A and B are shown apart, each in its own frame.
Chain A
Amino acid sequence: MHEILKIEGLSAGYGPLRVLHEIDFSVQEGERIGLVGLNGHGKSTLMRSVMSLVGWQNGSIRFKGQEIGGARSTGAGRRTHAIVQLGVALTPQGDAIFPGMTVAQHLDCGAHSKLAWRQRAQRRDAVMDIFPPLRKLESALVGTLSGGERRMVSVGRALMTEASLYLIDEPSLGLAPKISKAVLEALFALPKAGKAMVIAEQNVALLAGRVDRMVGMHAGRLRGDVGHVALS
């Protein structure tokens, strides 16, 4: 198995606030990992620091052997687009999407690679197969959709290109249980070969038994996974 993501000694934070404490973490090809932990314990920060979106960070992040981390203290977001183009797709928490675009336009935004842009019609179709409710909303403005539909659009955007690592941040946040289940089902149904997925979730029950590995996150450190297994 290939190692897709390898994080070593990652510390990150915002200004004087340190959120992540020397995290070591790795993701293998074909893996589906649940990142669990309460609000405010660094799940989103971990994902965002992979995307180079936090205030400062320090430590090594290797994506398929290529260093995308390093020490950095300003210019959040400056390298993000390059990381996205390497093949990391992040669905941010909440509705960080484009409210004034139609669903179709919004999905097209995800198609950043040349190939994806050329095939955007087919790919949109494929996303709509995954999230059938979007099909009839194709020309509706995203700002007018319901929460669940927006989440589908947001996740769908991440699926538009051939990313090999999907980081999905809190897909169930603020959604009715039934709808969040549907969103997660769609995610679990995605093919696994050659790709990996990390889902951050507060609600452990939603992921139980559906992921290959569950990693706890607590106070800026990883828990669970390493602790139990290695020592017992």
Chain B
Amino acid sequence: MSTVTLIHGLNLAAIYGLMAIGISILWSSVGMINMAHGATFAASGYAAWQVSLIAQPLIAAWLGTGLDASIAMGATMIASGLGAGAIFGGLIFLLAYLPIHEKANFAVRSLIVTLAINLATVQLLLYFFGPRQRALPKIFGLGRTEILGIPIRNDQLGTIVATALLMLVVVIWLKRSRKGLEITAMMQNPEGAVLSGISVRWTALPVTMLTGALAGLAAILLSQTVFVSPTAGALPLIKGLTIALLGGLGSIPGAIMGAILIGFLEAIVGSISFLGQRYVLFSQFLFIITVLIIRPRGLGGLLDQTRESRNA
């Protein structure tokens, strides 16, 4: 495997991982499949683009064009992506969780509501921003950096590092912090959680906001190589969903493993000359389906089993 393929695979794994983990966490803690994750992705991209329009001249006037300015710009972009994603996550909470979480069949119901949100968001973005795609400022620059003698494109390096850092923070936060404990409690037994003084309603809000923020970050990072458009979220959504499924819905390690596998699969299939790019999607879905038929609970999925046994 060449180094280009390796880096490419890691880069893809990072972005898919961000999407898949969000979907996975949301499913396991709140019990909803968020089909509006793609809409969150697209909306965050547009929000960041709008912010960049305002912030670029301001930062240029204040810091000039040096390294400071590009760091400030990068921080602004990431912050606006995270923020917009979190706000959109809050919106999903308000529309797809709060009114229906006590009703029967919440899983299917929320799936449908988020689908409707997705449909509406794409059309609204199209209406307000038009069909033209938009470019975000290159927060990592266009150059390349040599690490251990391997030349890596800055955006790839930035994506890999930023994702790895953020995932580490999220995993540690979920494991160590009090909110994380509350989320875990809610994942495993909502009634037990209320009896421990945890409000299920208000613990769901940070979860939706967190997963929204992850999608927002993915949007910023992916927009370093492609551009922001109203329908940009569709593919990351489908890939995120299937990877979350591959990892076993609800399992964070499973999702990370699934993202890495799929990322490398894409990179390797793409680099094999007789297969090439056109078989990438095909081979990915085939792989996922095969794995799921052999292991119906995906790579992880222990958590979900415990969930099932409780419901039974």
Q: Check B24 for interface membership: any CB of A closer than 8 A.
A: no
**Identity of the chain B residue whose Cβ is nearest the Cβ of A116 in the assembled complex:** B197
CB-defined contacts of A92 to chain B, threshold 8 Å: 191-192, 195
**Identity of the chain A residue whose Cβ is nearest the Cβ of B309 in the assembled complex:** A99
Q: Check A131 for interface membership: any CB of B closer than 8 A.
A: no
In angstroms, Cα B48 to Cα A191, docked, is 58
The answer, among A80, A90, A101, A113, for a CB contact under 8 Å with B185, is A101
Residue from A53, A89, A98 having most chain B Cβ neighbours under 10 A: A98
Q: Contact mask B61-88 → A, CB, 8 Å, 1/0? A: 0000000000000000000000000000
Interface pick from B2-10, B144-152, B198-206, B223-231: B198-206
B178 touches A84 (CB 8 A): no
Majority secondary structure of chain A interface residues (helix, strand, loop or mixed) = loop
**Identity of the chain B residue whose Cβ is nearest the Cβ of A112 in the assembled complex:** B197
A100 touches B302 (CB 8 A): yes
B102 touches A99 (CB 8 A): no
Q: Contact mask B207-244 → A, CB, 8 Å, 1/0? A: 00000000000000000000000000000000000000
CB-defined contacts of A82 to chain B, threshold 8 Å: 199
Q: Check A96 for interface membership: any CB of B closer than 8 A.
A: yes
CB-defined contacts of A203 to chain B, threshold 8 Å: none
- Counting chain A residues whose Cβ lies within 8 A of the other chain, the interface size class is 20 to 34
Majority secondary structure of chain B interface residues (helix, strand, loop or mixed) = helix
CB-defined contacts of A75 to chain B, threshold 8 Å: 102
Q: Check A59 for interface membership: any CB of B closer than 8 A.
A: no
- Counting chain B residues whose Cβ lies within 8 A of the other chain, the interface size class is 20 to 34
B188 touches A100 (CB 8 A): yes
A98-B188, A99-B310, A108-B181 are contacts. A80–B194 as well, Cβ < 8 Å?
yes
B192 touches A97 (CB 8 A): yes
Q: Check B167 for interface membership: any CB of A closer than 8 A.
A: no
CB-defined contacts of B303 to chain A, threshold 8 Å: 100
CB-defined contacts of A161 to chain B, threshold 8 Å: 197
Identify 10 new A-B residue pairs, CB closer than 8 A, beyond the known A81-B198, A109-B181, A109-B192.
A51-B195, A78-B102, A81-B194, A98-B184, A98-B189, A99-B189, A99-B309, A101-B184, A109-B185, A109-B193
A-B contact pairs, 26 of them (CB 8 A): A53-B191, A74-B102, A75-B102, A77-B190, A78-B102, A81-B198, A81-B199, A82-B199, A85-B197, A89-B195, A92-B195, A97-B192, A98-B185, A98-B192, A99-B188, A99-B306, A99-B309, A101-B188, A105-B181, A109-B193, A109-B196, A109-B198, A110-B196, A112-B196, A112-B198, A113-B197
Which of B's residues lie within 8 Å of A, judged by CB? 102, 178, 181-182, 184-185, 187-201, 302-303, 306, 309-310
